[in-house]
Copies of this chain bind each other. A is one copy, B any other.
Amino acid sequence: MRILDLLRRLAQPHDSKIVLLVLDGVGDIRTADQLQTALEAANLPHLDALAGRSALGRLVPVYPGVTPGSGPGHLGLFGYDPSDPEADIGRGILEAIGEGLPIGPGDVAARGNFATADRAGNLTDRRAGRIPTEECERLCKGINLALAAALDAAPIPGLVVHVAPGEGHRFVLHLQGKIDGLPLSAAIADTDPQQLDVPPLAVQATTPEGEATAAAIARIVEIVERAIVEEPRANRALLRGFSQLPHLPQIPELYKLRAGAFAGYPLYRGAAAASGMEIVPCGKKFAEILDVVRAAWDRFDFFFLHVKQTDQAGEDGNLAAKIQVLEDVDAHLPELLALGPEVVAVTGDHSTPAPMKAHSWHPVPLLIHSAICSYGFADEFSERACAHGEIGTIPSYQMMSLLLANAGRLAKFGA
């Protein structure tokens, strides 16, 4: 990531404020059955008016044709090249950070699901009937007691283990320390078989370096499942996304700004925290997020706002719902602009076309407004207008330097 060294050199403090509004999965496509994209079909008077005073363009999240998960999608927006192995960051870590766990260098985290298995040990529900969060919290408390007792009786020298509850049936497994003096490894295969009527997979290392950690986790899984074996629904634990913290250059030092993340879901808080942003607790709806942004306006220079519902509607194949989310964001947009940020960017971490019911690789519409953005090619925020916009089609990781430039935060390079 050589370009980050250049940006670090050029970044300079300024009193300007930047708002990055991420409409998750906003990009859409036209097909024989869906003649308009969500942005085209929605009624967006404020976004369209803003587009008329903005530079437009498109972002390629990772590489043409490559569909990103939310982690790589967001790291790209924050200026990191997600195809760089140094930026490879697992979902386990992202969720653990997003839940506020004190993940440190060398720690290993995995995402956990409580699940239901029958008498024969075969899975009958991979989400344990979507148990309520309170039940998940009770289970995790019991598991942590069982882990402490078992590891007190027969320790794994140097290792600290605990689980933390997430929403519903979700939890995070967090390992700290070493095993017999050796560093932990995240080279562990998922134990979630991703299908029913089979037992969970055995814990297995994917490289020889992972074997000591895999053996420890196999024992941990035994302890966990013994602790919940009598539960009516959540009697199994499935693990996936074993991962460690990547060594990302941190945004405050890199770009010389105070960065706050306003995201209602753990994964996005995790990506922001891994980049060095401060996580500001907030709700999930755009209006709720705006309230928190307003209250924190003096504390930050850079505001990452994350709206999840566009992606959810796309994943559901529900164009009408996607349109409604966009129209709701549009209705509240004047409140955001009234705060007076010098730079406003609106884009997504990837496309989630309703016809595909999934993330996709299609380039993502981008709008950048500032007093010096240059504008005038279009008066609507849509895939087509953005394809023909002033910014062109660029990799996501090249957007951040444009935001800094529009904010007067990048010094001239060379004399």
A residues contacting B by CB (< 8 A) are 2-3, 6-7, 10, 29-32, 35, 53, 58, 62-72, 82-83, 88-91, 94, 241, 267, 353, 355-356, 358-363, 371-377, 383-384, 387-394, 398-406, 410-415
Listed by A's residue number, 27 A-B pairs whose Cβ atoms lie within 8 Å are A29-B372, A32-B371, A64-B394, A64-B398, A65-B401, A65-B402, A65-B410, A66-B401, A66-B413, A67-B405, A67-B411, A68-B412, A69-B413, A69-B414, A91-B414, A94-B415, A360-B372, A363-B390, A363-B392, A374-B383, A376-B384, A377-B387, A387-B388, A387-B389, A387-B390, A387-B392, A392-B393
A134 to chain B, nearest CB (A): 26
List of B residues within 8 angstroms of A267 by Cβ: 415
The answer to whether B355 touches A372, judged by C-beta atoms less than 8 angstroms apart, is yes
The answer to whether B374 touches A72, judged by C-beta atoms less than 8 angstroms apart, is no
Copies held by the complex: 2
Instruction: Kindly identify which residue among B66, B83, B413 contacts A67, using a CB–CB cutoff of 8 Å.
Output: B413
**Chain B residue nearest in CB terms to A403:** B65
Q: Do A415 and B241 form a contact, CB below 8 Å, given A372-B353, A372-B360, A387-B392?
A: yes
**Chain B residue nearest in CB terms to A405:** B65
Q: Quick one: which of A58, A90, A355, A374 has the most chain B CB within 10 A? A: A374
The docked-state distance in angstroms from the alpha carbon of A10 to that of B66 is 8
**Chain B residue nearest in CB terms to A10:** B66
Q: Do A361 and B405 form a contact, CB below 8 Å, given A68-B412, A392-B387, A393-B392?
A: yes
Instruction: Kindly identify which residue among B63, B360, B362, B392 contacts A6, using a CB–CB cutoff of 8 Å.
Output: B63
Nearest 8 A-B pairs (CB), nearest first? A91-B415, A65-B401, A29-B374, A65-B405, A69-B414, A392-B393, A72-B414, A65-B402
The answer to whether B374 touches A414, judged by C-beta atoms less than 8 angstroms apart, is no
The docked-state distance in angstroms from the alpha carbon of A190 to that of B355 is 56
Given A30-B375, A355-B372, A392-B393, 7 more A-B residue pairs with CB atoms under 8 Å apart are A30-B374, A69-B412, A71-B414, A72-B414, A353-B374, A376-B384, A387-B388
List of B residues within 8 angstroms of A374 by Cβ: 29-31, 353, 362, 383
**Chain B residue nearest in CB terms to A393:** B392
Instruction: Kindly identify which residue among B10, B31, B70, B398 contacts A415, using a CB–CB cutoff of 8 Å.
Output: B70
The answer to whether B360 touches A68, judged by C-beta atoms less than 8 angstroms apart, is no
The docked-state distance in angstroms from the alpha carbon of A112 to that of B377 is 45
The answer to whether B3 touches A63, judged by C-beta atoms less than 8 angstroms apart, is yes
**Chain B residue nearest in CB terms to A62:** B413
The docked-state distance in angstroms from the alpha carbon of A68 to that of B374 is 18
**Chain B residue nearest in CB terms to A375:** B30
The docked-state distance in angstroms from the alpha carbon of A170 to that of B393 is 43
List of B residues within 8 angstroms of A401 by Cβ: 63-66
The docked-state distance in angstroms from the alpha carbon of A250 to that of B64 is 20
A206 to chain B, nearest CB (A): 13
A53 to chain B, nearest CB (A): 8
The answer to whether B58 touches A392, judged by C-beta atoms less than 8 angstroms apart, is yes
List of B residues within 8 angstroms of A94 by Cβ: 415
The docked-state distance in angstroms from the alpha carbon of A72 to that of B374 is 23
List of B residues within 8 angstroms of A71 by Cβ: 414-415
**Chain B residue nearest in CB terms to A87:** B414
A25 to chain B, nearest CB (A): 12
The docked-state distance in angstroms from the alpha carbon of A247 to that of B407 is 35
The answer to whether A68 touches B3, judged by C-beta atoms less than 8 angstroms apart, is no
A375 to chain B, nearest CB (A): 6
A27 to chain B, nearest CB (A): 9
The answer to whether A72 touches B362, judged by C-beta atoms less than 8 angstroms apart, is no
Q: Quick one: which of A6, A32, A375 has the most chain B CB within 10 A? A: A6
The answer to whether B30 touches A413, judged by C-beta atoms less than 8 angstroms apart, is no
List of B residues within 8 angstroms of A53 by Cβ: 32
**Chain B residue nearest in CB terms to A27:** B374
A306 to chain B, nearest CB (A): 16
